[in-house]
């Protein structure tokens, strides 16, 4: 048995889970709904507001899938009940962002416009032109979109200018001026 896979997940009161015949789980909550396809050999068991996945050892011999799908189920439950949010900060003179329709427009020192299409399932807010907040119910989509935005202009190591996560620490190098001091 997988150590993580056999641990139960507590269900919030407003979250419902339904299992279909094709081993597909439908998870509904106040923020929206999500789907999860379970592999053969894993089944959902719900007892007094606790959900767990049980593995049939004759069909599903790998314990890694057990722990993986338990984590995916937990992420879906958290997503439909609380949601996920990633915050990014633009650091640099003249760096700003704004939402124009279904695109995130970034002005980060390039001569060309940088517009990133926003997925329909995500909500992007820009505060004061330099703080970007990405919200959604799917943890993977929120994280992937945040990584895509950050990849446009990652923080550089000399002045720290660029797009960074809210609490990210950028270790700075000393540069040419430090060479003569040694």
- At 106-156, the pLDDT tens digits run 888 888 888 989 999 899 989 888 899 999 999 999 999 999 988 988 888
Whole-model pTM over 0.75: yes
pLDDT of residue 60: 64
Question: And the tokens for 39?
Answer: 């592999």
| Average predicted confidence (pLDDT) for the chain | 84
pLDDT (mean) for 62-69: 77
Query: CATH 3.90.930.12 region(s) of the chain?
Result: 9-81, 84-165
Q: Give the strands of the sheet with 96-100, arranged side by side.
A: 96-100, 103-107, 114-117
pLDDT of residue 177: 75
Nearest partner of 72 among 41, 32, 27, judged by Cα = 27
pLDDT > 70? residue 182: no
pLDDT (mean) for 150-170: 85
**Cα–Cα distance for residue pair 62/16, rounded to 1 Å:** 28
Full DSSP string of 98-155: EEETTEEEEESS-SS-EEEEPPTT-EEEEETTTEEEEEES-HHHHHHHHHHHHHHSPP
Out of 3.40.50.2300, 3.90.930.12, 3.40.50.720, 3.40.50.12160, the CATH code matching 84-165 is 3.90.930.12
pLDDT (mean) for 61-81: 83
CATH match of 9-81 with 1.10.645.10: no
Q: Confidence class of residue 3 from pLDDT cuts 50, 70 and 90?
A: confident
pLDDT of residue 1: 56
User: Element (H or E) spanning 37, and its range?
Assistant: strand 32-37
Nearest partner of 50 among 74, 21, 22, 20, judged by Cα = 74
């Amino acid at each position: 048995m997988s150590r993580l896979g056999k641990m139960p997940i507590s269900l919030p009161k407003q979250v419902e889970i339904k299992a279909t015949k094709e081993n597909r789980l439908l998870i509904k909550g106040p923020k929206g709904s999500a789907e999860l396809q379970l592999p053969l050999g894993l089944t959902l068991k719900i007892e007094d507001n606790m959900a767990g996945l049980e593995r049939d050892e004759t069909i599903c011999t790998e314990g890694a899938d057990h722990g993986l799908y338990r984590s995916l189920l937990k992420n879906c439950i958290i997503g439909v009940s609380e949601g996920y949010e990633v915050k990014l900060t633009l650091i640099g003179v003249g760096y700003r962002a704004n939402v124009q329709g279904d695109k995130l427009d970034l002005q980060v020192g390039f001569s060309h416009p940088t517009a990133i299409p926003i997925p329909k399932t995500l909500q992007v807010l820009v505060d004061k032109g330099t703080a970007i907040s990405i919200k959604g119910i799917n943890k993977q989509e929120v994280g992937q979109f945040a990584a895509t935005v950050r990849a446009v202009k990652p923080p550089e190591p000399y002045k720290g200018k660029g797009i960074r996560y809210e609490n990210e620490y950028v270790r700075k190098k000393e540069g040419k001026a430090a060479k003569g001091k040694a």
